[in-house]
C-alpha cells in the first residue's frame, strides 16, 4: 500500500523533471534575460542622463566628462598602457589575496577546531583586528620599502581578517547534531574534518573568501595610491595630478569590472558547490 503511493510520487517527480528538462528551458532562459535586463535599467538611465546634462553644459566637462568621452579615453588607454596597469594590479591582488586568505584559512581551521588554540591565539587576533589595517602602511613602508613586497603584504593583511573571522564562525556554527553522527560512527579526527566539518563549514568559508576578495581590491587601491609607478591606483592618482577626470573615471570603471569579475568567479564556484543548501532565494514580486 505504502509502496504504491511512493511509486506514484516517484513518477510524479520524474514527470516534473522531464517537463523542466524539455519544455521549460526557453521560458526559464527568457526569464533570466528579463532579470538581467532589469539590472541594466538603472546604469543605462544614469549614462544617458549624464551624457545629456554634460552635452547641454549643465555640468562643466573638465569636472564631469561625458560618458562617451570616458569610453574614448578607455579605448585610448586600451591601446596603450592599460594592460600593463591591469596586469600589475591583478598580480598584486591575487598574490596578496592568496597569501592572506591561505593563512587565514589555516588559522581559522586551527582556532575553530581546537579550544586550546583559541585560548592562545584568539586574544591576539582580536587585538590585531582592532587596528585599522591602513595604520600598517607607514610601518610596512619603513620595513619593506615602497616596492612590491609592502603592497602585497598590505593586501594580505586586508584579506586575512574577513576570511579568518568568517572561517572560525563557520566552524563554530556547524550543527553539533551532524558532528555527533560522525562520533557515532567512530570517525577519526581527519575523517570528521573531511566528511562533516569541511562541507558543513563551506557556506561560511565562501562568505569570508568573497568579502576577503573585495577587501583585497580596496587595499590594492590604497597601496597604489600611496606609492606606485604602475597599477590602477597609480592611474587614479595620475589622473588627479594631470586634472584628467576621464582617466580617473576610466580607472574606476576598470576596477569595478575586475572586482565584479573576481567576485563572480567565487560566486559561481559557490553556486556550484553549495547547490545543496536549502535557502530562501527571495520572492518573485
Residue ranges in contact with other proteins by CB under 8 A: 2-3, 6-7, 10-11, 13-14, 177-178, 180-181, 183-185, 191, 195-196, 199-200, 202, 274-278
d(CA 55, CA 122): 57
**Minimum CB–partner distance for residue 206 and other proteins (Å):** 13
**Minimum CB–partner distance for residue 177 and other proteins (Å):** 5
57 vs 186, beta carbon nearer other proteins: 186
Helix (H, G, I), strand (E, B) or coil at 195: helix
Give the residue from 212, 194, 202 showing the smallest Cα distance to 173: 202
Torsion sign over Cα 63, 64, 66, 72: positive
**Minimum CB–partner distance for residue 60 and other proteins (Å):** 57
54 vs 196, beta carbon nearer other proteins: 196
**Minimum CB–partner distance for residue 39 and other proteins (Å):** 28
155 vs 196, beta carbon nearer other proteins: 196
Helix (H, G, I), strand (E, B) or coil at 281: coil
131 vs 178, beta carbon nearer other proteins: 178
**Minimum CB–partner distance for residue 271 and other proteins (Å):** 14
**What's the DSSP call for residue 276?**
T
Half-sphere exposure of 30 (CA within 13 A, CB side): 4
**What's the DSSP call for residue 61?**
T
d(CA 77, CA 260): 20
191 vs 240, beta carbon nearer other proteins: 191
Ramachandran angles phi, psi of 274, nearest 5°? -115, 30
194 vs 240, beta carbon nearer other proteins: 194
Helices (H), 114-197: 115-129, 137-144, 148-172, 176-184, 189-192
- Report residue 4 CA to chain centroid gap: 49
d(CA 160, CA 105): 9
**Minimum CB–partner distance for residue 181 and other proteins (Å):** 5
d(CA 206, CA 48): 37
142 vs 275, beta carbon nearer other proteins: 275
**Minimum CB–partner distance for residue 276 and other proteins (Å):** 4
Amino acid at each position: 500500500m505504502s509502496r504504491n503511493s511512493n511509486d506514484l510520487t516517484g513518477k510524479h517527480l520524474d514527470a516534473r523533471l522531464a517537463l523542466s528538462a524539455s519544455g521549460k528551458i526557453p521560458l526559464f532562459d527568457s526569464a533570466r534575460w528579463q532579470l538581467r535586463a532589469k539590472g541594466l535599467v538603472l546604469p543605462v538611465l544614469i549614462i544617458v542622463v549624464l551624457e545629456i546634462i554634460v552635452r547641454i553644459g549643465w555640468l562643466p566637462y573638465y569636472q564631469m566628462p561625458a560618458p562617451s568621452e570616458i569610453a574614448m579615453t578607455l579605448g585610448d588607454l586600451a591601446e596603450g598602457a592599460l594592460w600593463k596597469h591591469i596586469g600589475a594590479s591583478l598580480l598584486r591582488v591575487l598574490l596578496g589575496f592568496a597569501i592572506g586568505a591561505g593563512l587565514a584559512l589555516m588559522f581559522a581551521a586551527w582556532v575553530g577546531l581546537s579550544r586550546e588554540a583559541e585560548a592562545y591565539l584568539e586574544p591576539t587576533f582580536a587585538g590585531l583586528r582592532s587596528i585599522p589595517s591602513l595604520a600598517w602602511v607607514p610601518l610596512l613602508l619603513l620595513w619593506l620599502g615602497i616596492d612590491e613586497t609592502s603592497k602585497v603584504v598590505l593586501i594580505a593583511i586586508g584579506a586575512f581578517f574577513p576570511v579568518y573571522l568568517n572561517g572560525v564562525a563557520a566552524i563554530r556554527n556547524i550543527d553539533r547534531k551532524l558532528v555527533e553522527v560522525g562520533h557515532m560512527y567512530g570517525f577519526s579526527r581527519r575523517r570528521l574534518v573531511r566528511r562533516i566539518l569541511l562541507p558543513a563549514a563551506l557556506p561560511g568559508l565562501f562568505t569570508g573568501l568573497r568579502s576577503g576578495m573585495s577587501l583585497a581590491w580596496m587595499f590594492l587601491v590604497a597601496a597604489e595610491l600611496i606609492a606606485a609607478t604602475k597599477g590602477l591606483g597609480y592611474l587614479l592618482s595620475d589622473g588627479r595630478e594631470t586634472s584628467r577626470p576621464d582617466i580617473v573615471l576610466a580607472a574606476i570603471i576598470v576596477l569595478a569590472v575586475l572586482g565584479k569579475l573576481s567576485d563572480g568567479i567565487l560566486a559561481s564556484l559557490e553556486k556550484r558547490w553549495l547547490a545543496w543548501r536549502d535557502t530562501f532565494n527571495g520572492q518573485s514580486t
